[in-house]
Structure 1
Amino acid sequence: MTVALITGGGRGLGAATARELAARGHHVVVNYRQDAARAKEVAAEVGSAVQADVTDAGDVDRMVDRVLAEHGRIDVLVVNANTVQPRFTSLAELTWDEFNTKVTGELAGAFHVTKRVVEVMRANGKGRIVFVGSTAADYVGGGRMAHGIAKNALAAFARHVAAETARDGITVLTVVVGAVRTEASAHVITGAAEEKLAANSVLGRVLEPADVAAAIAAAASDDLRTATGSAIRVDAGWSVLVGGPLR
């Protein structure tokens, strides 16, 4: 059985993706940082759970060593953990510490786990890596400076990883996610805000976690190897209508 490791897999989008990967035949290792109870609840359905702070290289080494000891392989890596939730505010109000913490945390959470798992995949001669990005990388405003720049950096990192690993049999894709209804976004996607987001999408609605999970699982399959380095937008067609709502 193939083994998939998903960071931040204990809740929201990560949990939905874990369940979708399991439904497609993977043994899923659910990484979590703090909420062991939630992660183990998901793991009971999909495979197993392992604690690690993915921004810490030592923690990542211990996590990967444990997965290898228990399963002998890592075939799929989904880089999903939202390591830092920034305050949405203007440049005038944003502090350097807030900005630096978000950008550094985002990249550390991707860098350490990707570097370590690429070693494993190279040794196996194949692998699939999926980064979970955001449309916030493409649009400015709304106080999203720290978040948007962090996601831009993540997208660039993914392309560089793709270029370095393509001939090792490793496929690297980014799933760029629009407005999705999760616990983390519940305070944002509500009332008038949800109506506006829905009106500015081709499908006329915001995303559910299952919508994105299906795209991540597809990106993790063998079918998209020649698309390595690409980004798949999953935003209910929001980017198509950025000039205004469908009439």
Structure 2
Amino acid sequence: MSPVTVITGGSRGIGAATARRLAHAGHHVAFSYRRDRAAADKVLAELHATGVRAVAVPADTRDPDQVTALFDAAADLGPVTGLVNNAGVTSPIGPFVDLDPDDLRHVVDVNLVGYVLAAQQAARRMSTGGAIVSVSSVAATLGSPGEYVHYAAVKAATDTLTVGLAKELAPRGIRVNAVAPGIIRTEIHALSGQPDRPDRAAARIPLGRPGEPDEVAAAIAWLLGPDASYTTGTVLRVGGGL
């Protein structure tokens, strides 16, 4: 039986790269997106071209009913075996003292509450084991001073969620891990007001360049797969040395 994997935020960036990689590995995929139906349709066509079943579901992961609907759509593809918690946002880069409370709440709601709601649905539905992988960030340990300390704090919460869930769900055969990307060439930097950030940051990355979404997707796919069968409670750093 083919694996069935849910990906939150699968229409672009790391989520889309992960969807494509998993489809090539034989996973049926249900992914969510927020607004860009054209981008979602493009990814969906790429998945279907590999021969797997796939569905794109508009969903705001802050809303438990919409998260439930995403997993219901996934269940139509077969029993859910995997979750990639990926849907995330930042906010305008700047000093901590200038942080807008609305931006703070948005980052917490999407990056933490959304992850918890999706993981909860996965845990309820994985009756015969499975794997959850959450996308964290090197910011969780570096702190992101002068940029977005609040985002870093939320990503540290993702790491703690990973460790706690791994221990709680291990007796049921559900593995829980995270990847911590460094500076990856995605659209998230434009959304935070600095689209050229990956290239500007290259000089302080030990490997001398930003990462690519496919490089993070490879780590996610490994953590979901049988080669990682004894790996749980781990945060795998994919940061070029950061």
What TM-score, normalized by structure 1, do the two folds share? 0.88
**AA at the equivalent of 2:29:** V
Highest CA radius of gyration, 1 or 2?
1
- What is the CA–CA distance in structure 2 between the aligned matches of 1:116 and 1:222, rounded to whole Å? 22
Give, in whole Å, the separation in 1 of the partners of 2:146 and 2:19. 31
**Greater displacement, 147-156 / 92-101:** 92-101
Native 8 Å contact 2:61 2:117 kept in 1: yes
d(CA) in 2 for partners of 1:25, 1:65: 20
Structure 2 counterparts to residues 42-191 of structure 1, below 5 A = 42-46=43-47, 47-68=54-75, 70-82=76-88, 84-121=89-126, 123=127, 125-140=128-143, 141-186=145-190, 188=194, 190=196
Tell me if structure 1 keeps the 8 A contact 2:8–2:32. yes
Which secondary structure does the structure 2 equivalent of 1:232 belong to? strand
Following TM superposition, where does structure 1 have runs of at least 4 consecutive aligned residues deviating by more than 6 angstroms? none
Percent identical residues: 38
Rounded to whole Å, the distance in 2 between the matches of 1:189 and 1:91 is: 20
What letter matches 2:68 in structure 1? D
C-alpha RMSD of the superposition: 1.7
In structure 1, stretches of 5+ residues that fail to align are 240-247
Q: State the match for 2:51 in structure 1.
A: none
Unaligned ranges ≥5, structure 2:
48-53
Contact persistence 1:40–1:48 (CA under 8 A): no
**1:129–1:173 Cα contact (<8 Å) kept:** yes
Q: How many residues align?
A: 232
Instruction: Give the C-alpha shift of residue 211 in structure 1.
Output: 0.9
| 2:147 aligned counterpart, secondary structure | coil
Q: Separation in 1 of the partners of 2:110 and 2:195?
A: 24
- TM-score, normalization: structure 2? 0.89
